[in-house]
Amino acid sequence: MKFSEHFQINRTQLELDFVDRQLRNDLRLFIDPLRIATESDLFSRECKAIVRSFFQKVVDLARAEKDSEALLLLAPLTEPRETGLGWSNGSDHGSGLGNEGAVDFYNKLKKSKALQTGMIEDIEVTAMLVHGIDKDIISDMLTKLIMNLLCQYTASQCVLWGVPMKHNKSYKSWNASKAEWVDHSAQLPEYAGEPLVLVPKALVCHRLSMDANKFTTFVMDQIDQGDPRMGVRLAELLRDRDLDVPRNKKGKLIRQKSRELLKDIAKGSKNLALEFAQGDNNILKKYRENQRKNSECMTDSSIEAKQPNPKPLNITDTLNEIRGRTSSASPHSDFHLDVIAGITASLHPLFKQPSKFCEQEDTEVFTVSNAASRGVLYKARKFEQNGTNTIERRPNLLIVTINEHLDGKKWKSINIQQLLADSQSGGALLVAKSVSKSFMSLQNARGRTGIYILDTETFNDLLDIGSGEDGIALAIDVFEELSTIS
């Protein structure tokens, strides 16, 4: 049974920001460190700081031969049971870290050629180059490190969807500023007496983005594009066995033949990746940048496919159902959540991590993270100086849902400027059942200040745009137009 089914949320994976996990068994999904490194929202940036702080400390201790300190640091990394992600191996819980997992992880890291040659800089590369450290172990480690943020996220989603939180859980989480493990407690939802933790769907994968086989393919792409260092490195590896580089009549690599030859030489995909990485210090950096640039969230259908009994997802049908309810002339109790569900279904990952901020009569206020990479939404970002570092801050977008007619009187009662200040948001999207024509004429001027006013018809049109091909890019253009039309 899914989380949404047990707690009667009655929404599909399309409409939910989190992975709609199973209650008894694990889904074969994993937290991807590159997704954390790539995402620009506050939640992901905080995760990134935590992971980098912890992993750098472990690597420094390993290189300094301070094994006892490193093992003490790794001790809290026991197997997480709360998220329902990973390999189940026939049991209810994952099999990544296990009882001796932290010690095993450290021993493999310490003995790896990748660490000894200075190739290990972050946790993404570790999964790609170190034998015996794969996605299940990496995902389990990340889960434990960012547990406090995941518990906070879970609480926000439970408040949003009306899920009771009855389980008081105590746990440890890594604190990046203190560089130490810190004790926490949180109220969480539960099933059969066990706490449940939710994971944002933007962070999960089936296969890690940084992968040894993908790296080898990238290297071969570089060779075909004329990269001299990688071409020389390939020739060196084959020359050790008195072999020539297999090429076709056009001079391009015969890739399958090259892989077969290299497989015998390197004895494994991770060894081969390490051999290429040692041939050029910049190739690993270039590959990481390429993966970050092209990293994308798993589709909702791909996530749903990991369920024991997956159901077909159809964005058009989902939006039509939402349109039917929000377009109804009379107010209805689901209006506010329908707006949030529609935004998630159509505009994720442009807008993520919806959280309820406050409510007043027929008006409810939410915040969503803003991940726009261009346009007026992107320009809302701010920069803060922290010592010698400049930190980018992406203000949230305020979502105000009004389950009635919006006119000047209602507008004054909302006090949007105060809400923007209290929520520290960089703009606001107001969606009302209907909007008076005279008041609607003010939309363009307000759009230039980051306040967008939509009736349900216009809102549903925006969702239709967002759900189509290149929808996110077009949706950003809509906000741009609302801000510039005179």
Instruction: Note the pLDDT of residue 286.
Output: 92
| Lowest-confidence region among 9-18, 283-292, 473-482 | 473-482
CB-facing half-sphere around the CA of 161: CA atoms within 13 A: 27
Task: Give dist(CA 125, CA 134) in Å, integer.
Answer: 11
Q: What are phi and psi of 223, to 5 degrees?
A: -65, -45
Residue 385: what pLDDT? 60
pLDDT tier, 372 (very low <50, low <70, confident <90, very high otherwise): confident
Residue 358 predicted with pLDDT over 90: yes
Beta bridge partners of 174: 181
At residue 442, the pLDDT reads 60
Architecture of domain 315-484 in CATH? 3-Layer(aba) Sandwich (3.40)
Q: What would the pLDDT profile of 411-422 be if each residue is shown by its tens digit?
A: 989 999 999 999
* Predicted pLDDT at 231: 83
How high does pLDDT run on average in the chain?
A: 87
Report phi then psi at 61, rounded to 5: -65, -40
Q: Residue 95, Cα to own-chain centre: how many angstroms?
A: 22
Cβ atoms within 10 A of the Cβ of 334, count?
14
- Those residues whose C-beta lies under 8 Å from the C-beta of residue 394, and which sit 6 or more positions away, are 40, 41, 42, 369, 370, 371, 380, 381, 426
Element (H, E) at 385: strand 382-386
Q: Kindly state the average pLDDT of the residues 167-191.
A: 95
Bigger pLDDT: 367 or 93?
367
Between 264 and 62, the more confident residue is: 62
Per-residue pLDDT tens over the stretch 310-350:
999 999 999 999 998 888 766 667 899 999 999 999 999 98
How much of the chain, in percent, has pLDDT values that exceed 70?
89
Bridge-based pairing of strands 389-393 and 382-386 is antiparallel
